[in-house]
Amino acid sequence: MNIAIQKGDLTKAPKGYTRIQFTDTSKGTRTFVREKDIETLEIGVGKQDELNRRQCIVLCRAVVNAAKANKRKKIALDLASLATAKKLKPYPREELFQLAAENFEMANFEFTVFKTRPKEGWTAVDEILLCGASSASLAKAVMKGQEIGRAVNACRSLANMPGGDMTPTLLARAAKDAVRGLPVKVMILGKKEMQKIGMGALLGVAKGSTEAPTFTILDYKGGKGDPIVLAGKGVTFDSGGLNLKPSSGIYEMHMDMSGAAAVIHTVALAARLKLKKRVIGLIPSVENMPGNNAYRPGDILKSLSGKTIEVLNTDAEGRLILADALTYAKRFKPSVVIDVATLTGAALSALGLHASALLTRDDALATRVSESGEASGDYVWRLPLWDEYEDMVKGTFADIANISNGPGGRYGGTIEGGMFLWQFAKELDCPWAHLDIAPRMTTAPGDELAKGAAGAPVRLLTHFIEQWKS
Ligand code: BES
Ligand code: MN
Ligand code: ZN
């Protein structure tokens, strides 16, 4: 998609462009008006002057979807006048133009890798002309927005890949491909290397599958300070293991590497945007299967940290592979560590479909991450990690248990997952946050985005990296 800007208003849009006109009529209304050879598509936005940032994001996507639904390839709209709405005025225009470009790209995306191309090609918008304002800084903002949108889409594409086509070995290769041509160093640890250093938690989960586990390290040295370390859960398929999931729960579990996909494409994007920070991505990857060599409920694993873990449920596997990744992070002397994982179904019960769960013991970091969520559109909501919850993960025969077996064990599953990770993160000498992105693994109705992976939280992490001072 090409996005251009011009100073002239909408009436100066060249022939062949469908002009998008925002009207105060009820939200979502879409009407075509034709006058001679000028075509206008009216889109109702409710009270235009009351439009807020969140609604603006969805509106930008709705514009692209309206054009797509009517097979219009060239559209023109006046973003500058939209930006005069009361709640949008405080933001610099550049910020809104970037936001719009991100969301145009996101709405234009569909996962077509496994579909036969129709004779007339895929429906997509080719040209967007933004009228009413033009400057070098606005053009730059649009370019940046498009770059971000493309990274989100690349993340969605990767996360959408079926389990059979995206094994741990292939995920490591995808990480390498994502940063090809960029100044990012890639290192991939295989089973042997992991055995040598003692990643017993990750290796335990990997045992049930014939697919070999991988641990990928991406290192972007864009700056000199202590690095930001991001760790992404890369379970390429989560059957649950011997605690096999029921049919309803196993659906979509090829997307259990969404955290990994987000980390991979965030590091790639940081390099592409030439952010002046050092960013390291860690991708522990396994397939969780109930093979004849699978780890069992009751097994005790020795993690890389030296702490032992009692496996009470083989379906709580994400926290096990992340435990070893968090310990591995220590060697980089990070200034901050954030892990990203589709960790618990309970996060969906707690928050529904519109926010990821944020868990951290560091209030300042919570504020930073929440602000990045709000600004970027990858919304998060914090849950507590108080000492009171720590008993949930006390082991009976090992140091730590991977799920709670005490009273109240059925409750607070997302906090339980966070508390488990905290047992390893507490050994880091820096702030740490955990993002449970299970609620944002797939797009939700009303998002105005194609079905499948949502690409969270690439936008949040990118915003976070930009403002973090190490
Ligand atoms: N990958 C799942 C969590 C999940 C569920 C993500 C639905 C996205 C949508 C995770 O590995 C898992 O199985 N969690 C268990 C934890 C339980 C065994 C304590 C869960 O949520 O049921
Ligand atoms: Mn699981
Ligand atoms: Zn899982």
**Same domain, yes or no, for 230 and 270?**
yes
Identity of residue 190: G
Cα 360 to ligand 2 centroid, rounded to whole Å:
22
User: Whose C-alpha lies nearest to ligand 1, atom 7?
Assistant: 345
> Is position 245 annotated as part of the catalytic site?
yes
**Same domain, yes or no, for 127 and 173?**
no
**Same domain, yes or no, for 88 and 228?**
no
The tens digit of pLDDT for each residue in 378-401 reads 999 999 999 999 999 999 999 999
What is the structure's pLDDT at 249?
97
Among candidate residues 400, 457, 122, 397, the one with its CA nearest the CA of residue 269:
457
Cα dihedral 177→152→225→418 (10° resolution): -110
What is the structure's pLDDT at 227?
98
Phi, then psi, of 188 in degrees rounded to 5 = -120, 120
Q: Is pLDDT of 410 > 90? A: no
The tens digit of pLDDT for each residue in 330-352 reads 999 999 999 999 999 999 999 99
Across the range 438-466, mean pLDDT stands at: 98
What is the structure's pLDDT at 374?
98
Nearest ligand 1 atom, CA 347: 21
Model confidence pTM above 0.95: yes
| First-to-final CA distance of the chain | 36
Phi, then psi, of 231 in degrees rounded to 5 = -120, 130
**Same domain, yes or no, for 158 and 128?**
no
Domain end point (choices 132, 167, 200): 132
Asked, for residue 140, whether it belongs to a domain, the answer is no
**Same domain, yes or no, for 126 and 203?**
no
Pocket of ligand 1 (CB under 6 A): 238, 256, 313, 315-318, 342-346, 403, 413, 438, 441
The string of DSSP codes covering 249-291 is HHTTGGGTTHHHHHHHHHHHHHHHTT-SSEEEEEEEEEEE---
Cα 309 to ligand 1 centroid, rounded to whole Å:
18
Q: How far is CA 403 from CA 10, 18, 257, in A?
A: 58, 56, 21
Give the residue numbers spanning the domain of 62. Answer: 2-132
Q: Which of 144, 319, 330, 368 is catalytic?
A: 319
**Same domain, yes or no, for 278 and 321?**
yes
> Is position 319 annotated as part of the catalytic site?
yes
Assign residue 187 a region (left: φ > 0; alpha: ψ between -120 and 50; beta: otherwise): beta
> For the chain, what is the radius of gyration of the CA atoms?
23
Query: Cis peptide before 457, with omega less than 30 degrees from 0?
Result: yes
What is the structure's pLDDT at 270?
99
User: Whose C-alpha lies nearest to ligand 1, atom 16?
Assistant: 316
**Same domain, yes or no, for 47 and 180?**
no
Inter-residue long-range contacts of 376-379, CB under 8 Å, 24+ positions, other chains counted:
376/457, 376/459, 376/460, 376/462, 376/463, 377/54, 377/57, 377/99, 377/102, 377/103, 377/459, 378/440, 378/456, 378/457, 378/458, 378/459, 378/460, 379/354, 379/355
